A and B are shown apart, each in its own frame.
Chain A
Amino acid sequence: MITLVTGGTKCGKSSYAERVLESFGGTKYYVATMNPVGDDAQEIIARHTEMRRGKNYITIECLRDIGDLDIPEGCGVLIECIGNLCANEMFGSGEVNEAVLKITEGIRALSERTAELVIVTNEVGSDGNDYSPDTMQYINEMASINRCIAEFADNVVECVYGLAVAYKGKAIC
Chain B
Amino acid sequence: MKMIIGGAYQGKVGCATKLFGIDEEAMTNGSTCDFDEIFTAVCIKSYHKAIARFVAQGVDPIAFTKRLCEENEDVVVIMDEIGCGIVPIVKAERVKREATGRCGCMIAENSDTVVRVICGIPVYLKGTPDAD
Contact = CB atoms under 8 A, between A and B. Distances in A.
Most buried by A among B8, B80, B86: B8
Given A126-B85, A127-B84, A128-B97, A167 B119 contact: yes
B83 interface: yes
A128 B80 CA distance: 8
B36 to A, nearest CB: 26
Nearest to B118: A167
A167 B121 contact: yes
B88 A140 contact: no
Main secondary structure of the interface of B (DSSP, over half): loop
Interface residues of B, number: 23
A67 interface: no
A126 B121 contact: no
Interface string A1-45: 000101010000000000000000000000000000000000000
Contacts, number: 70
B82 interface: yes
A167 B88 CA distance: 31
A125 B7 contact: yes
Nearest to A149: B119
A156 interface: yes
A139 B9 contact: yes
Q: Which 9 A-B pairs have the closest CB atoms?
A: A128-B82, A127-B85, A143-B9, A125-B8, A125-B7, A147-B120, A126-B7, A150-B119, A126-B84
Interface of B: 6-11, 48, 80-86, 88, 93, 97, 100, 118-121, 123
